Structure 1
Amino acid sequence: MARTASALHILVKQKELAEDIMAKLKKAQHLMCWPNDTSTCPSGKKGGHLGEFKKGQMVGPFDKICFNGELFTPHLVKTKFGWHVVKVLYRT
């Protein structure tokens, strides 16, 4: 079972904006097109990169995607902070 993961994410308040970002990412299909200018999270300044984190360190639904979702595929996740578009880079 994976104990750590690394992910990129974009945090926005509106579901419609998150869905629009997801649609654009599905068309782009590669990591270099990861938009970071719309994120309300401070990690947006680092391209949305969250670094490596431990299982259980992130809020529940976000953590679940990071440790169970498909790698390199954008996922839409709702948390108490807003709507996240998440791309899991790796798990260890």
Structure 2
Amino acid sequence: MARTAAALHILVKHKEQAEDIIKQLKKGVKFDVLAKKHSSCPSGKKGGSLGEFKKGQMVPPFDKACFTGEILTPQLVKTKFGWHVIKVLYRT
């Protein structure tokens, strides 16, 4: 089982906006460009990069998505902070 992961994310308030971001990603818009433009998380300034983190370090729904979801495929996750578009880069 993976113990660490690295991910990019974009945090927004509304599901519709998160879904629109996923559509833009599928059309080829770069993740870091959208993160800088839309993310309300401080990581947005770094293109959405969260770096590497340990299992259990993030809030449970986010953690589950990062450690069980597909790698390199943007996914939508709801947490107490809002809606996240997550792209897991790798797991170790």
Aligning the two structures, in what range does the TM-score lie when normalised by the shorter sequence? over 0.9
Alignment match, 2:22: 22
Provide the TM-score with structure 2 as the length reference: 0.94
TM-score normalised over the length of structure 1? 0.94
Match of 2:59 in 1: 59
Aligned length: 89
Match of 1:11, SS state, is strand
Residue 26 of structure 1, CA deviation: 1.5
SS in 2 for 1:70: coil
Q: Does residue 83 of structure 1 match 2:83?
A: yes
Gaps in structure 1 of 5+ consecutive residues: none
- Identity across matched positions, percent: 74
Q: Kindly report structure 1 stretches of 4+ aligned residues shifted beyond 4 Å.
A: none
SS in 2 for 1:76: strand
Partner SS for 1:72: coil
Backbone CA RMSD of aligned residues: 0.9
Q: Secondary structure at the match of 2:27?
A: helix
- Extract unaligned runs of 5+ from structure 2: none
- 2:74 aligns with 74
1:91 is displaced (CA, Å) by: 0.4
